[in-house]
């Protein structure tokens, strides 16, 4: 049996007398491996080597050549600049030339 991480919520109340009851609710039971990481959790050493290799491939072959599966495969939105106005104020090559 594995270790579990749990959130414990206690029923708040005053001091209990003989005929009062209190309850404890165990909520969000997760396996320790499945819980979200915190700021102070130790990372897997293989993860750093994997990220370094991924960065090297993307530097060599271009941005987003390789991505993590968690980023998704669909690219529904892309910039369309077909009807963009000229950039006279930021690019000299867009200035009109008078002859």
Residue 44: predicted pLDDT = 76
Which pLDDT band, with edges at 50, 70 and 90, does 32 fall under? Answer: confident
Within 10 A of 18 (CB to CB), how many other CB atoms are there?
A: 4
Domain ranges of the chain: 7-94
| Rounded (10°) CA dihedral 48, 51, 52, 55 | -160
What DSSP string runs through 55-83?
Answer: HHHHHHH-TTSS--GGG-S--------TT
In whole angstroms, give the CA distance from residue 79 to residue 61.
Answer: 21
Each residue's pLDDT tens digit, 36-50: 878 787 777 788 888
Reduced to 3 states (helix: H, G, I; strand: E, B; else coil), residue 8 is strand
Which pLDDT band, with edges at 50, 70 and 90, does 52 fall under? Answer: very high
């Amino acid at each position: 049996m594995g270790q579990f991480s749990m959130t414990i919520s206690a029923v708040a109340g005053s001091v209990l007398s003989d005929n009062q009851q209190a309850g404890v609710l165990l909520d969000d039971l997760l396996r320790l491996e499945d819980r979200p990481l915190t700021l102070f959790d130790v990372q897997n050493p293989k993860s750093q080597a994997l990220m370094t290799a991924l960065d090297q491939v993307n530097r060599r072959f271009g941005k987003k050549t390789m991505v993590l599966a968690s980023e998704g495969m669909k690219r529904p939105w892309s910039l369309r600049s077909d009807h963009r106005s000229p950039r006279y104020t930021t690019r000299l090559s867009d200035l009109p030339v008078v002859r």
